[in-house]
Amino acid sequence: MHLENLYLANFKNYKEANIDFSKYVNALVGNNGSGKTNLLDAIHFLSMTKSAFNSMDSQSILHNQPFYSIIGKFHQLEKEIAVSNSLTVGKRKKISVDKNPINKAADLIGRFPTVLIAPSDHELISAGGETRRRFIDSIISQFNKTYLIQLIDYNHALKQRNRLLKQFSESGKIDRDILEPYDSILLSLGNNICNMRASFCKKYLSKIVKHYAFLADEKETIGLLYHSSFLQDNYKDVYLTSLQKDIILQRTNIGIHKDDYIFEMDGYPLKKFGSQGQQKSFLIALKLAQFDIIQQEKGFKPILLMDDIFDKLDDHRIQKLTEMIEHHEFGQVFITDARPERTHHFLKKLNIEWKIIAVDNGNLTPQKAS
Amino acid sequence: MQYPSKLIEDAVTEISRLPGIGKKTALRLALHLLKEEESTTGSLSEALINLRQKTKYCKMCHVISDSEDCTCQSIRKDGSIICVVEDTPDVIAIQNTSQFYGYFHVLGGIISPIEGIGPNELHIDSLIDRVKNSDGEIKEVILALSTTMEGDTTCFYIAKKLKPFNVKITTIARGIPIGGELEYTDEITLGRSIVQRLRYDLEGD
Ligand SMILES: Nc1ncnc2c1ncn2[C@@H]1O[C@H](COP(=O)(O)OP(=O)(O)OP(=O)(O)O)[C@@H](O)[C@H]1O
Ligand SMILES: [Mg+2]
Ligand SMILES: [Zn+2]
């Protein structure tokens, strides 16, 4: 699966653009602020229905314009498939695949999977649990639709229950008969989601370990610990006995919406004890392992989006990635760089098809190709 | 938006409160009325005011009708069975199937805390009373609600409240649409249809 052509209108700093891509390596080069990351984000929109960086869809419309439109032509199983994602101010976002409207995100996510490596990945280590939950959820959702649907339902039930708790707390009256259906949904979906997360983490860890060893040439032991109150045998009791506290705080305190994932190195939290270099290698390993799992589950390679990768990695790690690209471990790859000569130097050595695209203030110009 | 007069602005504000109507459409409708005969607007307003002031709901089943007494009672019906629905359009839809001869009970919505709708906003107590006061005449309550989380929650709540009475509680079947192809049925519906499969009996066996 790869993206053959991308058309943008009024998307972020792109007034209008239309560009063909290489099936293999695409390098986007241009100054800071020219629109390289925006282009990767447009691809992310087509894959995941939304931005990788900004949760407000309307902020992706070019300033002072009434709409944005993104149309991508994917090549999949010998067929061309057009995916479109557009938004008009004040309306609902419209997504379609070959002109057939997609009404639920779950019907698109996973069909054109992507893996994004970006400078903001560091938040996966430094930020709170929500960032890590969202990350892991987005991986599992790309190959397990049941997971995604159950997660959406869980979050909906959670919202309903929290509102009920608020009403109980304000009125001082508790009606257990309305609470009960939500409890049973949260307990049963929560238990399924917890099991799926736990088994995912096992598979995921083995792949992270493999990539870390390859990237870092080091022998630290990597750990990925899954924390969930639902892993305890008595999770139902823990959940149910929290009711009084839930009412006082007006929100549900126990559940898989509080789960976290702890990254470890030699048994200690990576966040506190990992060196800069170790953390960088770990983050790339995390993403490459994501790539492996999606490929394994879907039976084809996701599109790899690498934003400012040269700024983040030293020569040694770049060399490792180059080896992977050359050994055809990836399918279609997008790389951004603000320094054209560096990218050119990198591509020249590559014995695989590549294409350079110059990005200048929202204008795209194909340049050299191998 | 800028309006040529305060009167038009007021009309647009009111009309655009209706579901599915934006400010632009509202303005078009308002200007349209100004072009028509004055009497057209007169009869429209009259019909709307009458609709609001004179519409009656049956005291027993809460179906919209011309009187508060249940018109359903005048028709011969099976009094042992009640079909619980969300709203009046559902009554019409089920009546059109000609497959149901019992009474209806309109809830007026379904339970959804985030929208501020709890059991007290719905005709649930009156349903319980109906069953309680029927002295065993009502034998079955069919819950014909949406197959959403809110619908399921409402079913659960009602079933719980009806538990003390000796009444059979059923829900409408969920599954593959007639004439539908399996491969195009969504996974959840298909999954449920497999779990809740039906025995296939040959006639006469
Ligand atoms: N909705 C929008 N309308 C107009 N311009 C926008 C919009 N959203 C973002 N931009 C502009 O896009 C530019 C950022 O583009 P982008 O992040 O893609 O740059 P980049 O090429 O990746 O730069 P860098 O090399 O610094 O990472 C900024 O100048 C920003 O103002
Ligand atoms: Mg950038
Ligand atoms: Zn009636």
List pLDDT tens digits, range A115-137.
999 999 999 999 999 999 999 99
Asked if the Cβ–Cβ distance from B160 to A180 is below 8 Å, we say yes
Pairwise CA distance, residues A3 & A364, whole Å:
16
Q: If you take atom 14 of ligand 1, which residue's CA is the nearest one?
A: A33
- In this predicted structure, the answer to whether residue B205 has a pLDDT above a threshold of 60 is no
CB A190 within 8 A of CB A155: no
Ligand 1: which atom is nearest the Cα of residue A59? 1
Count of CB atoms situated within 10 Å of the CB of A193: 24
pLDDT score, position A328: 85
0.90 cut: is pTM over it? no
CB A115 within 8 A of CB A148: no
Residue A289 lies in a domain: yes
> How confident is the prediction for chain B on average, in pLDDT?
89
Largest CA distance in chain A: 72
Pairwise CA distance, residues A212 & A218, whole Å:
8
Interface membership of A175 toward B (CB under 8 Å): yes
Asked if the Cβ–Cβ distance from B112 to A160 is below 8 Å, we say yes
Residue A345 lies in a domain: yes
CB A204 within 8 A of CB A270: no
Residue A42 lies in a domain: yes
CB A38 within 8 A of CB A53: no
Token duo for residue A115: 């893996």
- In this predicted structure, the answer to whether residue B107 has a pLDDT above a threshold of 80 is yes
Point out the domain boundary residue: A248, A276, A299: A299
Ligand 1: which atom is nearest the Cα of residue A65? 3
Q: Which residues contact A289 (CB under 8 A, 6 or more apart)?
A: A204, A207, A208, A210, A211
Residue A120 lies in a domain: no
Q: Which residues contact A187 (CB under 8 A, 6 or more apart)?
A: A235, A236, A239
Regarding whether A143 and A90 lie in a shared domain, the answer is no
Residue A7 lies in a domain: yes
Stretch B22-43: mean pLDDT, rounded?
94
Interface membership of A185 toward B (CB under 8 Å): yes
Regarding whether A93 and A162 lie in a shared domain, the answer is no
Regarding whether A337 and A216 lie in a shared domain, the answer is no
Point out the domain boundary residue: A242, A269, A299: A299
- Give one DSSP letter per residue of A145-179, joined into a string: HHHHHHHHHHHHHHHHHHHHHHHHHHHS---HHHH
- Which one, of A48, A80, A42, A76, lies nearest residue A62 by Cα? A42
Side chain identity, residue A94: K
Residue A105 lies in a domain: yes
Q: What are residue B144's phi and psi, to 5 degrees?
A: -110, 70
pLDDT score, position A220: 87
Residue A333 lies in a domain: yes
Q: Which CATH number covers residue A219? A: 1.20.1050.90
Regarding whether A306 and A284 lie in a shared domain, the answer is no
Pairwise CA distance, residues B116 & B118, whole Å:
6
Q: If you take atom 26 of ligand 1, which residue's CA is the nearest one?
A: A32
- In this predicted structure, the answer to whether residue B72 has a pLDDT above a threshold of 70 is no
- In tens digits, what is the pLDDT along chain A, a chain of 370 residues? 999 999 999 999 999 999 999 999 999 999 999 999 999 999 999 999 999 999 899 999 999 999 999 999 999 999 999 999 999 998 899 999 999 999 989 899 999 999 999 999 999 999 999 999 999 999 999 999 899 999 999 999 999 999 999 999 999 999 999 999 999 999 999 999 999 999 999 999 999 999 999 888 768 899 999 999 999 999 999 999 999 999 999 999 999 999 999 999 999 999 999 988 889 889 999 999 999 999 999 999 999 999 998 887 888 888 888 888 888 889 999 999 999 998 998 898 888 899 999 999 999 999 977 7
**Chain B residues touching chain A at CB-CB below 8 Å:** 111-114, 118-119, 149-150, 152-153, 156-157, 160-161, 187-188
Residue A119 lies in a domain: no
Regarding whether A2 and A61 lie in a shared domain, the answer is yes
C-alpha A230 chain-centroid distance: 24
- Which one, of A83, A73, A60, lies nearest residue A10 by Cα? A60
Asked if the Cβ–Cβ distance from B119 to A178 is below 8 Å, we say yes
Regarding whether A155 and A196 lie in a shared domain, the answer is yes
Domains of chain B plus CATH, in order, are 13-54 (no CATH), 57-171 (3.40.1360.10)
Token duo for residue A293: 């799992």
Regarding whether A202 and A149 lie in a shared domain, the answer is yes
Token duo for residue B110: 């379904």
Pairwise CA distance, residues B121 & A5, whole Å:
53
Regarding whether A259 and A134 lie in a shared domain, the answer is yes
Please report residues of B whose CB lies closer than 8 A to that of A177. Answer: 157, 160-161
Number of folded domains that form chain A: 2
pLDDT score, position A25: 95
Domain residues for the domain of A236 are 127-299
Regarding whether A95 and A4 lie in a shared domain, the answer is yes
Regarding whether A140 and A197 lie in a shared domain, the answer is yes
pLDDT score, position B34: 94
Q: Which CATH number covers residue A61? A: 3.40.50.300
Asked if the Cβ–Cβ distance from A149 to B188 is below 8 Å, we say yes
pLDDT score, position A162: 97
pLDDT tens digits along B110-139:
999 999 999 999 999 999 999 999 888 999
Regarding whether A310 and A220 lie in a shared domain, the answer is no
A14 pairs with which residues across the strands?
A: A11
Point out the domain boundary residue: A299, A330, A359: A299
Q: How far is the CA of B30 from the centre of ligand 1 (A)?
A: 43
- In this predicted structure, the answer to whether residue B71 has a pLDDT above a threshold of 80 is no
Regarding whether A159 and A206 lie in a shared domain, the answer is yes
